[in-house]
Structure 1
Amino acid sequence: MHIHPLITDTQALAELCARLATSEFVCVDTEFMRENTYWPELCLVQIADEKEAAAIDPLAPGLDLAPLLELLVKNEDVLKVFHAGGQDVEIVYNLTQDTPHPIFDTQVAMMAISQSEQIGYANLVESWLGITVDKGARFTDWSRRPLTERQIEYAIGDVTHLAKIFPRILRKLVKTGRGAWLDAEMEKLADPANYANDAGEAWKRIRATGRNPAVLGRLKALAAWRESEAQHKNIPRGRIMRDETLADLASHPPKSQGDLAKVRGLSTAWRDNDIGKRLMKVLEKAEPLPKEELPERAAPGAPLGKEGALVADLLKLLLKIRAREIDVAARLLTRSDEMEALAAGTRDLPVLKGWRYEVFGRDALELVEGRLGFTVRNGRLTMTRVEQVAEAQAEAAE
């Protein structure tokens, strides 16, 4: 594979992207910094197909990323391959208000052909290529220039290895017939709605107890205000105020700005500074959360009862057995809250639809409805249909 020198000018980037546009796939990775900013600062982009690879310097003076973004977002003929690519896709979305498409994530794909739930990149390379990845540059400050040859070599390795691994993963998916299992997962990763930064939705990321409309209305208003402040200053939202402090203010709003000095997590300066004034105005104007926006009541845990909880535990045991039998990550099949809902009587669930129903859902439903049970054969826990056990017992009795 040909490795290009660091690309720092638009002409070289355009020529590279023109060649890559004829490939069936490109592997993509990014290096960025976000510790001190609200928006992640893109510092390096690595890209490769099976023939060539390059690192692109977005911080190079005068470099226009348009040819790269055109390839990633507009070219539907080239598959974009990432590993655990959520943050990489977010960066592309921030630059274009759109996402790479079509997309393939090797971390997600590994869930369909192994029991690995979130395999790291180093382990992926070790398992497929037998290569130990140099982790020495992982904590590099990628915004500092100049980059060393070792840093660039480390960064490009992320896509050159992936370009060798991806075709092998694809072949295994085809061989096992599990490629279709991943279609919805990949489309979900490419859905721009996952990356849109809607300040009005920010409150949903904050852990809050109860469904009091007044408290949640203040929480929503405060969370949106914090996003606006952080974006304006381009600093992490936690630098404005921690989640715990924000939730406390929503639950116990101060009567005056002077009372902000008594709030744990805020400095005494808030009692008379401008940001404190803005916060108090937000609290004053906050409206109770409309009924239709109230979060759904939590799935009843206690009402499940001891029997229901036991059924949920049996479903989790069945999941563990099935995942082991077919060598698939349990998380790809279903999740704990879904199994608890199934045990509680809910039937409109993803696990009871499509390929998940065929692979796991049918047996899970039969277990809940008493048609499937556990047996031990030769020291190994297996599943047996109840009628088969009854027939065997009848034959033995005869």
Structure 2
Amino acid sequence: MKIHPLITSTDDLTALISRLSTHDFVAVDTEFMRENTYWPELCLIQIASPEEAAAIDPKADGIDLAPLLDLLVDNDAVLKVFHAGGQDLEIIHNLSGKVPFPLFDTQIAAMALGYGEQVGYSSLVESMLGHSLDKGARFTDWSRRPLDKRQIDYAIADVTHLSEIFPKLVKKLIKTGRGDWLDDEMERLADPSSFAFPPEDAWKRLKLPSRNPAVLGRLKALAGWRETEARQKNLPRGRIVKDDTLNDLAAHPPRTQDDLGKVRGLSSGWRSNDIGGRMMAALEKAQPLSDEDLPSREPRRPGLTKDAALVSDLLKLLLKIRAKEAGVAARLIARSDDLEALAAGVRGNLPILNGWRFEEFGRDALDLVEGRLGFATENGKLKMSRIAD
């Protein structure tokens, strides 16, 4: 495989993308920093076909990433391959407003093939290619320039290995007939709504201090204000105001801006500074939540009785057995809340009762819950036993 020098010009990038666009797939990875920012700071993009690989410097003076983004989000003829690509997709969505499609995540594929729960990239490389990754540059500050050859080689190795792993995974998926299993997961991963997060919904991610409509109305206003401030200043949310302080302010709102100096978690400067003024303005505009907007008193899934909780535990044991037999990561088959819902009597809109999940696990799970399947031991080993009508 041909490895190019670091790409720092639009002309070189355009030429590279022109060649990559002739292939069926490209492997993609990014290096970024986000410890001190709201938005992840893109520092390097690595991309490879089966024939060539390169690292692209998005910080290079004058470089235009439009050719790359066109390939990633507008070229449906080329499959984009990532490993655990959630944060990479977030970065691309921030740059373009779109999510790469079609896409393939090797971590999810590896789960379907029995490589374990959320298998790490290093482990997958060792398992499939038989050699270890150089981890010497893991803690590089990718925002600093210049990058030396070792750092660039380390970054490019991620996509060169990925371009080798992908065809091997595809062959195994075809051989096992599990390619279709991944469709729902890849579609979910490519959903742009996962990355479009309006400030007015920020309160829903917080631990709610009460169900009082007035308190929640103030929390909604404060959380939306903080989200906007964090984005505009490109700072982490907690660097503006911490969650606990927001809850305190919503539950015990200050009467005047001068009172902000008495709030735990805020400095005395908030008594008179502009950001304190904007916070008070947000509080003054807050309206109690309507009945329609109030979070439901009922949990998303029915509450479990003691007996149902025991049934849920049995379902988890069954899942462990079936996942081991099938050589699939249990997490890909079912999640705990789905098992709890089945144990509590839910039968509609459960993924485990549809498609391949039903064939691999759901049918037996339903039989267990409804008394047609039980656990037994034979020669000291646990097995499933059908129960006669």
Counterpart CA distance in 1 for 2:268 and 2:43 is 37
**C-alpha deviation, 1:81, in angstroms:** 0.3
Counterpart CA distance in 1 for 2:6 and 2:267 is 45
**C-alpha deviation, 1:46, in angstroms:** 0.2
- Unpaired runs of at least 5, structure 2: none
**C-alpha deviation, 1:303, in angstroms:** 5.1
Q: Does structure 1 retain, via aligned residues, the 8 Å contact 2:209–2:247?
A: no
Q: Does structure 2 retain, via aligned residues, the 8 Å contact 1:115–1:324?
A: no
Is the counterpart of residue 185 in structure 1 residue 185 in structure 2? yes
Counterpart CA distance in 1 for 2:302 and 2:79 is 47
Is the counterpart of residue 366 in structure 1 residue 367 in structure 2? yes
**C-alpha deviation, 1:302, in angstroms:** 9.7
Which residue matches 1:123?
123
Alignment CA distance shift 1:298-1:106 (3 Å): farther
Q: Does structure 1 retain, via aligned residues, the 8 Å contact 2:222–2:246?
A: yes
Counterpart CA distance in 1 for 2:374 and 2:139 is 50
- Unpaired runs of at least 5, structure 1: 391-398
Alignment CA distance shift 1:303-1:180 (3 Å): closer
Which residue matches 1:83?
83
Which residue matches 1:158?
158
Which residue matches 2:284?
284
Q: Does structure 2 retain, via aligned residues, the 8 Å contact 1:115–1:330?
A: no
1:216 is aligned with what amino acid? L
1:374 is aligned with what amino acid? F
Counterpart CA distance in 2 for 1:128 and 1:2 is 22
Query: Could you give the per-residue CA deviations for residues 322-380 of structure 1, whole angstroms, max 9, x where no partner exists?
Result: 11111111111111111111111111112112221111111111111111100112322
Helix, strand or coil: the match of 1:43? strand
Is the counterpart of residue 381 in structure 1 residue 382 in structure 2? yes
Q: Which residues of 2 match residues 263-342 of structure 1 at below 5 A?
A: 263-299=263-299, 304-342=304-342
Q: Does structure 2 retain, via aligned residues, the 8 Å contact 1:34–1:41?
A: yes
Alignment CA distance shift 1:302-1:173 (3 Å): closer
Query: Could you give the per-residue CA deviations for residues 55-90 of structure 1, whole angstroms, max 9, x where no partner exists?
Result: 001111111111111110111010000001111111
TM-score w.r.t. the length of structure 2 is 0.96
1:363 is aligned with what amino acid? D
Helix, strand or coil: the match of 1:55? strand
Q: Does structure 1 retain, via aligned residues, the 8 Å contact 2:27–2:159?
A: yes
Counterpart CA distance in 1 for 2:302 and 2:100 is 44
**C-alpha deviation, 1:258, in angstroms:** 2.8
Which residue matches 1:70?
70
Query: Could you give the per-residue CA deviations for residues 7-59 of structure 1, whole angstroms, max 9, x where no partner exists?
Result: 11111111111111011110000011112222211111000011100000111
Alignment CA distance shift 1:255-1:326 (3 Å): same
Which residue matches 1:260?
260
Counterpart CA distance in 1 for 2:320 and 2:3 is 44
**C-alpha deviation, 1:115, in angstroms:** 5.2
Which range moves more in the overlay, 295-304 or 131-140?
295-304
Counterpart CA distance in 2 for 1:132 and 1:99 is 31
Which range moves more in the overlay, 134-143 or 92-101?
134-143
TM-score w.r.t. the length of structure 1 is 0.94
Q: Does structure 1 retain, via aligned residues, the 8 Å contact 2:301–2:337?
A: no
Q: Does structure 1 retain, via aligned residues, the 8 Å contact 2:301–2:341?
A: no
Which residue matches 1:58?
58
1:326 is aligned with what amino acid? A
**Percent identity of the aligned residues?**
66
**C-alpha deviation, 1:155, in angstroms:** 0.2
Counterpart CA distance in 1 for 2:320 and 2:79 is 33
Which range moves more in the overlay, 314-323 or 258-267?
258-267
Which range moves more in the overlay, 215-224 or 146-155?
215-224
Counterpart CA distance in 1 for 2:295 and 2:355 is 28
**C-alpha deviation, 1:183, in angstroms:** 0.3
Counterpart CA distance in 1 for 2:305 and 2:257 is 47
Which residue matches 1:228?
228
Alignment CA distance shift 1:75-1:182 (3 Å): same
Helix, strand or coil: the match of 2:259? helix
2:355 is aligned with what amino acid? G
**C-alpha deviation, 1:124, in angstroms:** 1.3
Query: Could you give the per-residue CA deviations for residues 98-151 of structure 1, whole angstroms, max 9, x where no partner exists?
Result: 111001011111111115121111111111112211212111111111110000
Which residue matches 2:35?
35
Which residue matches 2:173?
173
Helix, strand or coil: the match of 2:292? helix
Q: Does structure 1 retain, via aligned residues, the 8 Å contact 2:122–2:132?
A: yes
Counterpart CA distance in 1 for 2:276 and 2:44 is 38
Counterpart CA distance in 1 for 2:9 and 2:276 is 45
